[in-house]
Chain A
Amino acid sequence: MADKSKDVSSIYSPIAKMNLRTKTLLTIGLTVFILVAVVITSLFINSADITTNFNAMNQAPSFEHLFGTDWMGRDMFTRTMKGLGLSVQIGAGASILSSVIAIILAFVGSINSKLDSFIAWLVDLFLSVPHILLIILISIGLGGGAFGVTMGVALTHWTSLTRILRAEIKQINTSEFVKLSQRFGKSKIWIAKKHILPLVITQIIVGTILIFPHAIMHEASVTFLGFGLSPHEPAIGIILSESMKYLATGNWWLALFPGLALLIIVLLFDIAGENIKKLLDPTSANE
């Protein structure tokens, strides 16, 4: 960099000098890095690291135990990391599954108008029942555990993306280039694949990422209520519900740090999603 800009960079931080695109890329890179790091860290923690140690019961946060220890002397930081990893994995499964449901329903709706009304009705039906209730029902119905929770979350979170995709596809279907394509003798499936999909892929990617925070939150809340993952698993929901018993005795760190960590993960997903949305904006397609 030239000498002239040296004084400027001392006044303005390097972040302020970046253009919006670089900043967006940096934000996405950082958030994705943290999230991947959390998942990978959690994969390297095995249950042997979270053994009970009654010599170190109920310790407040220290440098040795960053998040403190619980009533069985387990290191809360390790448990939290393991729990976050589990949450992200379940979130990934659930959001990808609900996106697949949304894509299939939206495209099926574009082929037949009667099916389309049925799908619109189905969306309304699912939206009219409280999420948490449905998740609990489905989760219990499928036998609970990680599978039950994933399916429960997946089967309740496709509605908003379906609505968006359905509206987008309707609009594209009335466009002149689709009508012309029909005059060229192209089939509906060909048009869906070649014309519609490239135009809605942004919505699909962003929609999937933005389901993540919901999925993680709902997984944690169902588990917190005792209908989700089984108690021996180090899920955030389990950690939080167990900590309720010890809050009254002053063990504030049991709830605060895992709760905060969950919040941060959810926020990171939200930030990543919003920034990817900015980046995939149609006008910047060929930059």
Chain B
Amino acid sequence: MELKGTNISFKYPLAKEYLLKDINIHLDNNKITGLVGDSGVGKSTLCEILSGYYTNFEGTVELDGQKLPEKEFCPVQLIYQHPEKVMNPKWKMKDVLEESWNVDDNLLSEFGIQKSWFTRFPQELSGGELQRFSVLRSLNPKTKFLIADEMTTMLDAITQVQILDAVLKIVKQRKMGFLLVSHDMDLVNTICDDVIYFNDINGI
């Protein structure tokens, strides 16, 4: 399986200059790739383009030679840094999780999620607890490729390890692709087989 971005260029509608210029990026599910770069250079925008959040960019994004679907479940899923932003504040956690798929109990315990949290609202859980939901939600069986945009940056070291371990286990099990975006070089060096430096691929 191969996620391939070809000649991606993008600028925000009111911006004068391009943020991303002629980016070529090849990712596959045989190795875990890390993406590192300074703040504000466009890593998150690139991640959003790769997972189908934008349609108004130049170039193509293909998964196994096919364009990402716009109206169906997107096989490339993005995990954001801030889980509270990707959850409807009026929804109970059960609904939040089931918006994507019905998770079995084994997986719940693997991610350290307690059933008693299901009846709570997002603002009643801590950041770490929310991020577990956010990650598990994106691990829908239809997901082929996972992009973690600073997924664990806001978490403490222990939670970071717990969540990453659980995710990597499933990624290996299901032979999914995994792109880790991070500022933490130690983390990237430990986990990733390959590291991409954002400034090297951005043609600005």
Contact = CB atoms under 8 A, between A and B. Distances in A.
Interface string B160-200: 00000000000000000000000000000000000000000
Interface in A184-216: 184-187, 194-195, 198-199
Interface string B66-83: 000101111001101000
B203 interface: no
Interface in A167-181: 175-177, 179-181
B90 A285 contact: yes
Nearest to B92: A286
A282 interface: yes
B87 A184 contact: no
A34 B80 CA distance: 51
A186 B99 contact: yes
Interface in A57-84: none
B85 A185 contact: no
Q: How large is the interface on B (under 10, 10 to 19, 20 to 34, 35 or more residues)?
A: 20 to 34
A195 B53 contact: no
A183 interface: yes
Contact of B74 (A177, A185, A187, A286): A185
Given A179-B53, A184-B100, A199 B74 contact: no
A177 B86 contact: yes
Given A285-B121, A286-B121, A286-B124, A183 B88 contact: no
Contacts of B69: 185
A183 B124 contact: no
A286 B52 CA distance: 35
A184 B99 contact: yes
B44 to A, nearest CB: 11
Nearest to B78: A183
Contacts of A285: 90, 121
A212 B84 CA distance: 37
Contacts of A175: 85
A87 to B, nearest CB: 35
B52 A176 contact: no
Contacts of A286: 121, 124
A183 B51 contact: yes
A177 B87 contact: yes
Contact of A181 (B78, B85, B99, B121): B99
Contacts of B88: 177, 195, 198-199
Contacts of B72: 185
Contacts of B59: none
B88 to A, nearest CB: 5
A177 B85 contact: yes
A183 B77 contact: yes
Nearest to B53: A179
A184 B97 CA distance: 12
A165 to B, nearest CB: 16
A125 B192 CA distance: 60
A176 B88 CA distance: 9
Nearest to B70: A182
A148 to B, nearest CB: 39
| Interface hub of A175, A183, A198, A199 (most chain B Cβ within 10 A) | A183
B141 interface: no
Contacts of B77: 183
Interface of B: 51-53, 69, 71-74, 77-78, 80, 85-91, 99-100, 121, 124, 140
30 contacts: A176-B80, A176-B85, A176-B86, A177-B85, A177-B86, A180-B78, A180-B86, A181-B99, A183-B51, A183-B52, A183-B53, A183-B74, A183-B77, A183-B78, A184-B73, A184-B74, A185-B71, A185-B72, A185-B73, A185-B74, A194-B99, A195-B88, A198-B90, A198-B91, A199-B89, A199-B90, A282-B89, A285-B121, A286-B121, A286-B124
Given A176-B80, A180-B78, 8 more contacts: A176-B85, A177-B87, A177-B88, A183-B52, A185-B73, A198-B91, A199-B90, A286-B121
